[in-house]
Amino acid sequence: MTASFMEVFVMGRTGHHLTGLAAGILTTAASWHAFGSTSLTAIPMGWSGGSAPDWLEIAHAEFSVSRQKWVRISVIPHRTVTHWWPLWLSLALLVAIWPFHIPAIHLFASRTIEVSGILRMALAGFAAGGIMHLLMDVPNPTGIPILTPLARSRWSLALVALGKRAGAIGRDGDGGPGRSGSLDGDQSTGMVIGGGKSEKPSTENFARYFHRVQGTPCTRPDGNHLARQYTGVLSMKTIYMSNLNSTIKNATADLNESIQAMVPVKKELKTWQPGRPEYEAALARKAALGSRIAHLKKQIADAQRLKKHPEVLRRHKICESVERLVNYGMGLEKADSVNCRVNDAVGGEIKAVTVNTQNWNYYAKSYTKAGGFPKIEHDVIIVVNPDWGKQVYDRDLEFLGGMLTLSAKPAHKGRNRKALELAARYDIDLFEAVWMRKGRGFQVSTESGFIAVKRTSLGAIPSTAYHSKSAMAAVDGSHRKFQNIDHLPLEMRDVPVDAVATWADASAVGACRSGVINWCNLVGIDHTAVSVPLIDVVRGYYLKPAPEAKAIILRVLKACPRKAAQAA
């Protein structure tokens, strides 16, 4: 058996299934004389037992933030307990002595099913497949445990180098004891922050998830052409700026550690003469550290390059805008966290939810042990599509009626013909939308339906919006709200364009400085500016009514009479 054959078949799940099938066939052939056709049960069980040491570890896939790839996580560490040879030999010994006696089942007068023989041969095939799995793992450099399941002493022929070929690992992982490997079939593409080896630039770990608009996956793009090749796409793996910053931070720490570790190695090279074992060992450590340092520098450069990618920056701005609106527009700034997530492609699930968790470690242990309650943490999670900026923000639909708009698209003409006709008569825009509604405390919920928006010519009120499950009700509600504007005082509708509000006006009306700053943050006004246009203050007042804001507006309007009065 050549090394290339073992790389392709023996190390992967398919290879283990095939070798387990061969073990089941051999078991059937050896037992045919004694058990007859009953021995055929060993063949399918050999197929199952060929991969049993791996699936008995109870593994699942998780996405590693630091490595930016799917990795294999198992309850039992890989190649430890389930790969220990005494367990499988004990199972084979149990089959050999077989101390159990199970009565046969008589279905018909001439037909008898030997249950004991079937179970015995099934267990024999399963044990043979498992033993074959261990034998096929011996060529791996990590081998299999010998003395104890977690022992460092392992039996290995070191014939196969891991990670050289895609598919050589399959679903076996990286082969290391107590470590979890990749489920994507390519061990050399992981972004390993704390160590390990990677033969490809770490940019590929992110670029593999970039896709063209037509849906063609990218294939090995180099880092220099990454930004030019995928500018403006709407179908890609969303890369969060926090993950890139974490990658840079961890890789920089490992880089400094490796550079410091290089200092004593260089001293050893100066101490020992060439040819001595100590010199050769130091030379090998220097080469390994040099390769690690080069890899970490490349990893940092790739992450910094991705931070400047137009699509990464665009989606980061979406997250910032949504989180700012939720914090200050909906009064959730005191929640434990507000996180916005962007779907990889248009058409994903859109939602807003509050995750409530119990934190028993927040308060003192003396309080919790005495029967105290845990701290309830409220984490608000919002998920939007990557076209949120174009479909919602650019249309000025992001915050209507005190609610955050998660998605919006023009109403369907066929299903909502009557509502659209009425909307056209009233000059109202009708959208099919999903929005986030705030409940009690920090609870939020997602609602879907229609939003009718009436664009006004009034300086103080740019639009009136109405949310409803029904398209017709939304149009009627928006028109009704617009008609009710007429009862507002005229000085609140006709705001001079050149009127401004200053901190002197706030002091003159006796407004609390901290209260004014808090209100400005809620409505998105820069309180550090020397002056603010009065129309922005009026708009903020309609979003968040406050007595201080009303007093400032009336003072400025009294100092700047209405243009209509001046013309008269």
Quick: pLDDT tens for 496-524.
Answer: 778 899 988 887 876 767 677 877 877 88
The pLDDT value recorded for residue 125 is 92
Name residues whose C-beta falls within 8 Å of residue 410's C-beta, 6 or more positions apart in sequence.
Answer: 429, 430, 431, 432
pLDDT of residue 265 exceeding 70: yes
Residue 309 has pLDDT above 80, yes or no: yes
Q: Which span out of 139-143, 206-210, 459-463 was modeled with the highest average pLDDT?
A: 139-143
Please, what is the end-to-end C-alpha distance for the chain in angstroms? Answer: 103
- Answer yes or no: are the C-beta atoms of 91 and 53 closer than 8 Å: no
- Would you say residue 173 has pLDDT above 50? no
Q: What is the pLDDT of residue 520?
A: 84
Structure tokens at 461: 């009120």
Strands, E assignment, 78-222: 105-108, 111-113, 144-145, 154-155
Spatial contact of 452 and 465, defined as CB atoms under 8 Å apart: yes
% of residues, the chain, pLDDT over 90: 26
Q: Which of 22, 25, 20 is nearest to 41 (CA)?
A: 25
| pLDDT at residue 214 greater than cutoff 70 | no
Q: What integer pLDDT is reported at residue 550 of this predicted model? A: 78
Q: How many CB atoms lie within 10 A of CB 476?
A: 19
Helix axes 85-97, 115-137, angle to 10 degrees: 160
Residue 523 confidence (pLDDT):
80
367 near 410, Cβ under 8 Å? no
pLDDT of residue 217 exceeding 70 = no
CA 203 vs CA 70, 217, 272, 403: distances in Å: 16, 15, 39, 39
For the chain, what is the mean pLDDT? 76
What's the pLDDT band for 409 if we cut at 50, 70, 90?
very high
Mean pLDDT value of segment 219-237: 43
